A and B are shown apart, each in its own frame.
Chain A
Amino acid sequence: MIRYSRTYDFFRVWRRFSFNSTESITNHTFRTNECSPINHKIDHNGRFYSISESVKKQLFAGGGLPKEYQSLSETLNGLCIMVRKPAIELIHYLNKTNFDAPVLRYVLYGRTGVGKSLSLAHIIHYGSCAGFVLVHVPWVPKWFQYVKVATPSSVQSNKYDQPIEAVEWLKHFSTQNGPLLEKCELKATTTYTWSKREVTAEGSPLSELIDLGLNRAKYATGCIVALLDELKKAATNKQCRVLVVIDGFNSFFSPVSKVIREDKSMVLASEFLLTDAFLSLTRNDWNNGAVVVSIDPLAYPPELRESPLPRYQLGKTGFEHLDPFVPIEVQNYSDKEFRSQIDYYIERNWLQQPKAHTDNGRAELSFTSGNHPYSLMRLVAPY
């Protein structure tokens, strides 16, 4: 039985930091006025675009932005995200995808703190603008590390439910997609019987299913399974396009877990019903959608963080589950990105030391942070 140390928790928070941000009004070189991610191209590489308060509230209220980044964006009076290469590449692929073919899986990988989560945030914004139904899991390990209640499943007897996490996720899903779901008018294709009295009839709108989950925590997990199933079918029937975005995907395949039974054996991630639901969504047995997942060493136990590469982080089962997929590496800042990041900090009055504004000062920051986005953020934060 392995217990995660406090360091693990610390890194969990830590990793959620990668860098880039701003607000766009002016036409500085480090900013772009192109606020729609659909149009982001290689020309916009290294520039910041701003996300309006309402969009932020809709997309990221239930998670999706690293905590520190979010508080920084509040301090700096507006959320801005840097357009970076992995996101541009993904957007390019998504714009060109043939949606009649089975879904493609994209895997973002890289060291902790290089900006995977923010790239995903960029993609979520893209998905929202492009009219995708978003199925977004902000941080998978959260489900398996701090499980408050795990009950035997009401649907499958050998599995476990996580009512609190499930309700939370349903809320996140409905805030992200509420208006779109109404517009698409998605309907349940089968009748779901939860108990004698509670039944979701065939042909009732999906929002009813969601409401049921929100009100009856006991059936929330089952609702998610049903909902994802319905979405898959709806997408295949061309009723809507679905974009699946999962951060910390490798946690589904983690060989250890923090949830412990009474006989002190671990409840692995694979024994949860939620895992099944989302793994089924990441198979390529449906079309008219896309799957973007990120894998991060922090989603894996501390003794298995030597390499950030997909084969190591996913293990054999995970790798075979996703195979074939498109790997996209997220790297440290390039010189251009670094320069624009510093310019952004200066413009937002965040980097206050005049010496750091000079070329020598920038060279020092670049060297001390190793061009690593999270390190740079931490380095600059106090001064």
Chain B
Amino acid sequence: MAVLREVLIFNLKCFRGVRSYFCPSPVFQCSSLSLNNASSNVRNLDFEQSDTKKISKAMKSYMERAKVHDNFIKDQLHQYNLGKRHLANMMGKDPEFFTQKDVDEAIRYLFPSGLFDPRARPMMKHPDEIYPKRKAAEFDMNGRPFHSLFYTSKPNYYNLMHDLAVKFKELDRHEDRMISRGIRDQKPSELFLFGSDWIPKEKIESVLLEILTDAQYSNLIKTLERFTQHPYAIKEKNFVMQFRHQLAAQTEIQQVPELMKDESNRPYTTFSARRKKSTATVKVIGQGTGLLSINGKDIHYFERKQHKEQVIFPLEFCNVLGKVDVVATCEGNGFSGKVGAIRLGIAMCLRSFVDAETTERMRLAGLLSFDPRKRERKKPGQAGARKKFTWKKR
């Protein structure tokens, strides 16, 4: 009983004192921890309970559910480990050192699948990855909730909002103090937000262990946005950064290939690009005179003005018209696709010839981005991709 009480108190503390919401996340850890503790205690309790105090019905059914879940997970884990050993034997590897990566490879090899969506393909993962985490008990033996916000049905979420409000007030008070000391005109510092973005709804949900509506998520983000506008928000940098994730820098664009030299000692680079169903291989050679060859022909390979303009777009944008030679080969359906691929190829090659600033300008102009748009498939039961058959009810 003493053990149980300790656990409960611990739970209580956790809920009251939540300050950090993310990895290493006390909420997360304490919930999983308390879950384990709780379920292990449930087993212990079974002996003692018959003669001790009454347990509320809610607690009782919770403990039953926890036990079933616990057993289920245990069973799944056992099966996973067994399956892993089988796989290791089939693949002729040592079962002791068979990692998840090896499992994935083995599955891919033994059950080849042509399904498009990766999630639809066969897989074998650790049960922890497949079955969602559950909340620990939120009430005591008598069925009284620990958390004051329990009846909001989303205590963690509202607790977080509450914390935000408290912090906001603290910052206000701090600002007042500064003003009374004569320090004003503190500009909002957004700098620490640079290069990061708010984490998506799914991630917040998995951490709070609560399902949020879109409106709730948007409220949270709005509040956080306003919080970061505060002149002294920098004081709470660590707190705010828990809700942001670093954006991937445009690394592919920044990794500029080095120039190579051809037989006549002229610098060149090559790039293979795609657009729609076309592919193009482009070679841009420096110290040129503006020669252009597309599949062995000159610019008149393309008949339409729009396509000719597309070919010169990156060249003119970087001001290298007449300074480099371009040799391109392209294949695939349609001239729009071909010219799109060639344009991307030329732009990508030109990165090696121009400075970083121009590269960034090209990126902002959309010259270095792959165009993912494609013809949309026709749907069954419809006249086209979106168009419906004419239909009258009567």
Chain A: residues with CB nearer than 8 A to chain B? 360, 363-364, 366-370, 372, 375, 379
Contact = CB atoms under 8 A, between A and B. Distances in A.
Contacts of A367: 290, 292, 299, 312, 315, 321-322
Interface string B280-306: 000000000010100000111000010
B89 interface: no
Q: Give the 3 A-B CB pairs with smallest separation, nearest first.
A: A370-B299, A363-B321, A370-B298
- Most chain A CB atoms below 10 A, which of B312, B319, B321: B321
A375 B300 contact: yes
Nearest to B322: A363
Contacts of A370: 292, 298-300
Contacts of A360: 316, 319, 321
Interface in B304-322: 305, 308-309, 312, 315-316, 319, 321-322
Contacts of B321: 360, 363-364, 367
A148 B355 CA distance: 65
A244 B122 CA distance: 82
Contacts of B299: 367-370
A375 B304 CA distance: 11
A383 to B, nearest CB: 11
Interface residues of B, number: 14
A375 B309 CA distance: 13
Nearest to A363: B321
Nearest to B299: A370
Q: Which secondary structure characterizes the binding site on chain B?
A: helix
A89 B112 CA distance: 72
B300 A368 contact: no
Contacts of A372: 300
A360 B312 CA distance: 12
A225 B76 CA distance: 104
B134 to A, nearest CB: 65
B323 to A, nearest CB: 9
B351 to A, nearest CB: 20
A368 B312 CA distance: 7
5 contacts: A360-B316, A363-B290, A367-B290, A367-B299, A367-B322
Contacts of A364: 312, 316, 321
A379 B316 CA distance: 17
Contacts of A368: 299, 305, 308-309, 312
Nearest to A364: B316
Contacts of B315: 367
A368 B302 CA distance: 10
B299 to A, nearest CB: 4
B298 to A, nearest CB: 5
Nearest to B308: A368
Contacts of B298: 370
Nearest to B320: A363
B322 A379 contact: no
Contacts of B290: 363, 366-367
Given A366-B290, A368-B305, 19 more contacts: A360-B319, A363-B290, A363-B322, A364-B312, A364-B316, A367-B290, A367-B299, A367-B312, A367-B321, A367-B322, A368-B299, A368-B308, A368-B309, A369-B299, A370-B292, A370-B298, A370-B299, A372-B300, A379-B305
A342 to B, nearest CB: 15
A62 to B, nearest CB: 32
A297 B90 CA distance: 69
Contacts of A369: 299
A371 to B, nearest CB: 9
A369 B312 CA distance: 11
